[in-house]
């Protein structure tokens, strides 16, 4: 984006990286300290709140603020995003067919194995 601004998706990704690397849940101030740049505290709070609403983060009250942590490891988060992209689509079969068509032979074998089709 212009003017040094980052897209919300890029901020979510950066914040998720910070939280996954942290040894414990972080407050918005803690997240902000780990991020490069000069993001406003309110921007960090807004992104964390949205990520929590999407089910990507859990939070616990800590004084006047919340402490945030990822709900899952990175593979679990990617799987959740894939499911959310598919969920509620009227054309699920078409979306899944396109996804399967794009898989490498190795990935296709892995999916078959995971589904029990060997």
User: Tens digit of pLDDT for each residue in 71-95?
Assistant: 877 788 788 778 878 887 899 999 9
Give the other-Cβ count within 10 Å of 96's Cβ.
12
Q: How many Cα atoms within 13 Å fall on the side-chain side of residue 44?
A: 25
Task: Select the CATH number that applies to the domain covering 2-70 from these four: 1.10.10.10, 1.10.260.30, 2.60.40.10, 3.30.70.100.
Answer: 1.10.10.10
Residue 45 has pLDDT above 60, yes or no: yes
Query: CA 51 to CA 58: how far, in whole Å?
Result: 9
pLDDT of 4 = 60
């Amino acid at each position: 984006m212009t003017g040094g601004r980052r897209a919300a998706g890029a901020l979510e990704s950066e914040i998720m990286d910070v939280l996954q690397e942290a040894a414990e849940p972080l407050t918005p101030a803690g997240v902000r300290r780990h991020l490069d740049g000069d993001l406003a505290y309110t921007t960090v709070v807004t992104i964390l709140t949205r990520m929590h609403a999407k089910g990507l983060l859990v939070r616990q009250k800590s004084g006047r603020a919340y402490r945030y942590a990822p709900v899952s490891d990175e593979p679990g988060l990617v799987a959740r995003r894939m499911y959310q992209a598919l969920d509620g689509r009227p054309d699920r079969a078409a979306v899944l067919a396109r996804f399967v068509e794009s898989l490498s032979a190795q990935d296709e074998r892995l999916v078959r194995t995971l589904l029990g089709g060997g």
